[in-house]
Structure 1
Amino acid sequence: MTHDRPAISVLSLRAVTWIAAIGTLLTVAVTGLLIWFAGDGTPVDRARLAIVIVVGMVVLCLCAAGGLLLAARKIRASELGLLQSQEDLRLDYERASSEVQDRTERRVADLYGKAVELLGSGHIPVRLAGLYSLERLAQQHPDHRQSIVNVFCAYLRMPFTVIDSPTQHQEREVRLAVQRVLADHLRVGDPALPARTFWPHIDLDLTGATLIDPDFTGCQFRNARFDKASFVGDAWLSGSRFIGDAGFDGTRFGGQADFRGARFAGETWFGSARFSSGAWFGGAQFLEGAWFGAVRFNADAGFSETTFEQSAGFAGTRFTGDAWFSKAAFAGKASFAGARFCRGVEFEDSRFDTEVGFDQVRVRTDIPVSVPRTWPAEEWEVRPPRPEQAVLDGYEGEWGHLVPVSVELPEQTARQEPADSTPAGTR
């Protein structure tokens, strides 16, 4: 690569010698003229002498100006030389930096390829070596962190069946190690002074992945996709931060799901998710839309002191266990249309800033409840069903209607169909 450099024009030694010689001759000539014109000191001679003196002064001024010009040119030449040296140093530095960067990129690519190859080995110790090599590479080279996290996610998305066999046990250990590496580097620590091992601005795509007792407590994600993932065992996400969108559509939670104190800054989807054990969202914050349409809570569900800043959708959701919404705040529209409440329900001190929809909500009435049923602002009540309306297809027991206190139920003889199809608000 060539670069145009500024040309520096400097007077040669020969030119400087000629200028000095001419100046000397002029000085000698002026001195001779002064002596010749001095004459006998008559007025005419004195006038001539004055003229010669003036001419001499002019010549001397010209010589002085020439000297200043020479000095200025010398200074300018020095400045240009310095600038050229600086430019040469800059070009050399850029060239060296480019070469170092190229060598670094080639080395990283080589290490990356070898580590990925190790991760795909048939031997468990070799896989673990590949995993930790990728972790170390990502820690040292932040620009490659997302691509390495993508490899980890792809590994967890690979089919895996939880069965009791030596081979599956070893594979389980590798998966647990991958989960721990992700969690360790997504955990912020003190937000004011994040941990040195924290990797910010990371997206996770764990669509369809099998996760075993994952512990993402206090982790921070940019965009996270857990759609149709299977959480085997308990899932710990308390205090986690979702900077972008979070997707849990169709996700299966086999154990406890702990989202207490989590913060969802983007759109959040739990459409058609299944919670086999307790689901805890107490104190969580949803800054954008939160959609829980057609979710099955097969055990208790806790949303106490949860904040919904925008729309919240629970249309068609089934609450098999107790449901807590005490002190929950709904700043946007909230819809529970077609929801099914099997046991206790608590909306005590909950706040709805705009409209709330409880259309076609049914409540089971033939079993005792341990949590008293309280509805928003005491404006709603459960009407015992008429015999011909008590049964819902696909559900056990007798089901009453949740209606405003002043509303009379219409005469109906047909069975009510459950409104648990996927509603608007789910993806």
Structure 2
Amino acid sequence: MTGSAPNERDDSRTDGVLSSRTILLCAVAVAVIATGACWILFARYGHGTEADRVRLDGIRTVGTIVVGTGGALALLLAARRQQTAERDLATKRAELRLREQANDDIRRDAAERRTNELYLKAVEQLGAEQAPVRLVGLYALDSLAQENPRLRPTLANVLSAYLRMPYDLPSDSADLEPRREREVRLTAQRLLVQHLVPGAPRELFWNDVELDLSGAVLFDFTLNGAALHNACFTDAQFVGDAWFHEATFTGTTSFDHAVFEQDAWFLGATFTGNTRFDHAVFRQDAHFEDTEFAGTTLCRFARFERDASFDRALLRGVVYFSRTKFDRNTRFSSADFVAAPVFEHEATTQGAHFDSVRFGEEAWFDRVSFANYTTFDNAAFDGHIGFDGTTLNGDPYRPPQLQSDRLSLDDAV
């Protein structure tokens, strides 16, 4: 107790704040001094003589100056008091902001911890042996991504990674578990696809998602009207029809080594960057009507086992069909090749229609094997066309004759 008293006095002295008792004592002292001074002055100079009046006037003037100075000091003290009060208020506000920021940080950390816990739990469920538990994990991840936009690319990658996992198609006599796994994959597809299509409902669309489904087994895959960036379907297997009607592909798109077991529909699709279909296999019909290819398109070593249609397609970049095999009818009617198409190096077709096609630059059909029939009715060439080593039914193919300043293939064969 005795040791703490000096410290308390030292603290009170360093605070620099006048106590109420000190202010009261100072006021009483000033009043006593003023009263005593007045009594002394009147006692000495209150006789009414001319000299006393002069002295009193001088004293009165000095007193006025002193009172004015005191008033100024009082105003200064009041201003200082106001400044101190405002400074204290500003300090309190700053402390309040710091506390609010600290509380926000605490809430944010708690939310992030909760999000991480939910994420880890959902991923753990996704690896469970029971199909119903995996379904719960899929829906949990989807709900988590809807609530946390920054996690959407990551969670889209998780869904894609699940679909990329090896999967053998179940036979008709397969056990129940492979069929359940198929349902889980269909759910993963549906959840992923609904976030790749802009439009109603808008809150479901995820921006900046790069789709990587390389090696995935996809069932009745439908991405009509989707917006895809740097999409990769390399080595993917499409079981059932694959729908990309009016889809927009930006960046680089790859379908290398993809296998389309049923019809492939790319009606009205738009590819704004480079596109690859190297070694792709289309076991049923392939539809590329009204499709636009803005960049370089590679379709080398691809195989179209049924009909393929590129009617009214707009191909702005160079197109390579090197060693491509068209086993059935192939149509490019009314297509527009803005840049040079290249059909070369043992490309084969069983029947090709290039009717009303416009070739804006050079066109190369070197060492192409045409079978059955090939028509270039009303086709227009703005540049050179080459048929070096090209055959029709085993016989050398005769290139079309030049008419005016353009090449015309009307009834060329």
Residue 61 in structure 1 maps to residue 68 in structure 2: yes
Residue 358 in structure 1 maps to residue 361 in structure 2: no
Kindly provide the amino acid, as one letter, of the partner of residue 241 in structure 1: T
Q: Aligned residue for 1:13? A: 19
Shift of 1:234: 0.9
Residue 172 in structure 1 maps to residue 162 in structure 2: no
Residue 377 in structure 1 maps to residue 372 in structure 2: no
Residue 267 in structure 1 maps to residue 274 in structure 2: yes
**What per-residue deviation string (whole Å, max 9, x for no partner) do you get for residues 264-322 of structure 1?**
33332222222222222233333433332332223333333433444443344333333
Q: Aligned residue for 1:398? A: 394
Q: Aligned residue for 2:409? A: none
Distance in 2 between residues matched to 1:384 and 1:333, nearest whole Å: 16
Shift of 1:203: 1.8
Q: Aligned residue for 1:140? A: 147
Contact 2:362/2:383 (<8 A) preserved: no
Distance in 2 between residues matched to 1:151 and 1:325, nearest whole Å: 39
Q: Aligned residue for 2:198? A: 188
Distance in 1 between residues matched to 2:310 and 2:63, nearest whole Å: 104
Q: Aligned residue for 1:416? A: none
Contact 1:336/1:359 (<8 A) preserved: yes
Contact 1:235/1:258 (<8 A) preserved: yes
Contact 1:275/1:299 (<8 A) preserved: yes
Contact 1:248/1:269 (<8 A) preserved: yes
Residue 99 in structure 1 maps to residue 106 in structure 2: yes
Kindly provide the amino acid, as one letter, of the partner of residue 157 in structure 2: N
Kindly provide the amino acid, as one letter, of the partner of residue 169 in structure 1: R
Shift of 1:106: 2.4
Residue 282 in structure 1 maps to residue 289 in structure 2: yes
Distance in 2 between residues matched to 1:383 and 1:242, nearest whole Å: 33
Shift of 1:85: 2.3
Distance in 2 between residues matched to 1:265 and 1:109, nearest whole Å: 37
Q: Aligned residue for 2:206? A: 199
Distance in 2 between residues matched to 1:230 and 1:248, nearest whole Å: 10
Q: Aligned residue for 1:346? A: 354
Structure with the bigger RCO (C-alpha within 8 Å, sep 6+) is 1
Kindly provide the amino acid, as one letter, of the partner of residue 226 in structure 1: F
Residue 118 in structure 1 maps to residue 125 in structure 2: yes
| Aligned sequence identity (%) | 32
**In 2 relative to 1, CA 292–60 (structure 1 residues): closer, same or farther, beyond 3 Å?**
farther
Stretch of structure 1 that moved more, 233-242 or 17-26? 17-26
Shift of 1:156: 1.2
Picking from 167, 178, 193, the partner of 1:160 is: 167
**In 2 relative to 1, CA 154–296 (structure 1 residues): closer, same or farther, beyond 3 Å?**
same
Query: For this pair of structures, how many residues does the alignment match?
Result: 384
Contact 2:363/2:383 (<8 A) preserved: no
Contact 1:9/1:77 (<8 A) preserved: no
Structure 1: unaligned runs, 5 residues or longer: 1-7, 392-396, 408-427
Kindly provide the amino acid, as one letter, of the partner of residue 152 in structure 2: R
Shift of 1:226: 0.8
Picking from 191, 216, 224, the partner of 1:217 is: 224
**What per-residue deviation string (whole Å, max 9, x for no partner) do you get for residues 3-25 of structure 1?**
xxxxx977322564466457656
Shift of 1:134: 1.9
Distance in 2 between residues matched to 1:318 and 1:18, nearest whole Å: 111
Q: Aligned residue for 1:247? A: 254
Q: Aligned residue for 2:78? A: 71
Q: TM-score, normalised by structure 1?
A: 0.76
Kindly provide the amino acid, as one letter, of the partner of residue 176 in structure 1: L
Contact 2:336/2:358 (<8 A) preserved: yes
Distance in 1 between residues matched to 2:25 and 2:316, nearest whole Å: 88
Kindly provide the amino acid, as one letter, of the partner of residue 191 in structure 2: V
Contact 1:128/1:174 (<8 A) preserved: yes
Shift of 1:249: 1.4
Contact 2:245/2:267 (<8 A) preserved: yes
Calculate the aligned-residue CA RMSD, in Å.
Answer: 3.5
Residue 292 in structure 1 maps to residue 299 in structure 2: yes
Kindly provide the amino acid, as one letter, of the partner of residue 298 in structure 2: W
Shift of 1:372: 6.1
